[in-house]
Amino acid sequence: SPVLDVARDYRWGRVEETMGEDPYLVGTLGSAYVRGLEGAGIVATLKHFAGYSASRGARNHAPVPMGPREFADVILPPFEMAVRLGGARSVMNSYSDVDGVPAGADRELLTGLLREQWGFTGTVVSDYWAVAFLDIMHRVSPDRATSGAIALEAGIDVRVVPGPSAV
């Protein structure tokens, strides 16, 4: 926690986890949430970086058909606020792809923007299936080992592994 996805389409199956449709409101609430957790010694993990809630047709895991300006104006502000104002120490990447680039393979997003521009020094963790989805769903990799290498190169520090019932 917290989920900083900005609600874009109320058909999206995870909209009940969001804090709303206004980026400033989500950023303000999210930053306060992070300060509360971090102040209590709990590491806050910002989710889902970034674009997950803006998927085509509000389908879970669908591509995000959004240009860079809207992405920067609507999707990114809550995350930037929670990093800069809230002091978040962990970020979880999104499953989605924006303009054909999966978040788990996006060095510009995870390293260039998050670390170099915003000054984030914490840990980037994968969502459960994010690394596997690079070869299974996004098809940017021929196999799991290559997916892992791509994710590491992009800026993911820790792979969260699904439970024992997952293949």
Contacts by 161-166 with C-beta closer than 8 Å and gap 24+? 161/128, 162/128, 162/129, 166/128, 166/129
Structure tokens at 62: 């669908």
Q: Active site residue: 127, 135, 143, 157, which one?
A: 127
User: Do 120 and 92 contact (CB within 8 A), yes or no?
Assistant: no
Calculate ∠ Cα 40-158-86, nearest 5°: 35
CA dihedral of 110, 111, 114, 120, whole degrees rounded to 10: 120
Cα 43 to chain centroid, rounded: 16
Q: For residues 16 and 139, what is the distance between their CA atoms, to the nearest angstrom?
A: 30
| 9 flagged as catalytic | no
Give the residue numbers annotated as catalytic, written as ranges: 127
